[in-house]
């Protein structure tokens, strides 16, 4: 059995943050700038530059639309659905 890593490291731009419809947590729309995983072809998500991903986070913290972040993402799955979650987000310094 081949096991894939369940973490994806990306640079992304936050496009939108919205409360989830059930009132628990937030949906964050990310535009991928770069997949920085050690082996991008081996992770579950395999996002490409320019892709848009909707990820879940329990708390939006100090995320804001337009912000560039380095994000650690993971895929959680069960028998009926799967959800991409935002495990960690750090602001990226934008060079002028």
In a domain, residue 96? The reply is: no
Name which of 86, 54, 55, 58 is nearest 70 in CA terms.
86
Q: Binning pLDDT at 50, 70 and 90, where does residue 2 land?
A: low
In a domain, residue 40? The reply is: yes
- 37: CB partners within 8 A, 6+ apart: 5, 7, 8, 9, 10, 43
Q: What does the pLDDT average to over 10-14? A: 97
51 C-beta neighbours (distance < 10 Å), count = 15
In a domain, residue 1? The reply is: no
17-76 residue pLDDT tens: 999 988 899 999 999 999 999 888 888 899 999 999 999 999 988 999 999 999 999 998
CA distance 45 to 72: 11
In a domain, residue 28? The reply is: yes
Domain total of the chain: 1
Give the pair of three-digit tokens for residue 22: 């059930």
In a domain, residue 2? The reply is: no
The range of the structural domain enclosing residue 45 comes to: 8-91
pLDDT of residue 26: 96
CATH of the domain at 17: 2.40.50.120
């Amino acid at each position: 059995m081949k096991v894939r890593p369940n973490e994806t490291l990306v640079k992304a731009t936050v496009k939108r943050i919205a409360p989830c419809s059930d009132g628990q947590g937030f949906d964050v729309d990310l535009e991928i700038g770069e997949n920085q995983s050690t082996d991008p072809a081996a992770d579950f998500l395999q996002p490409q530059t320019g892709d848009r991903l909707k990820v879940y986070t329990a708390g939006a913290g100090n995320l804001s639309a337009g912000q560039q972040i380095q994000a650690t993402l993971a895929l959680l799955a069960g028998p009926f659905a799967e959800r991409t979650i935002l495990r960690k987000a750090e602001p990226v310094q934008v060079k002028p």
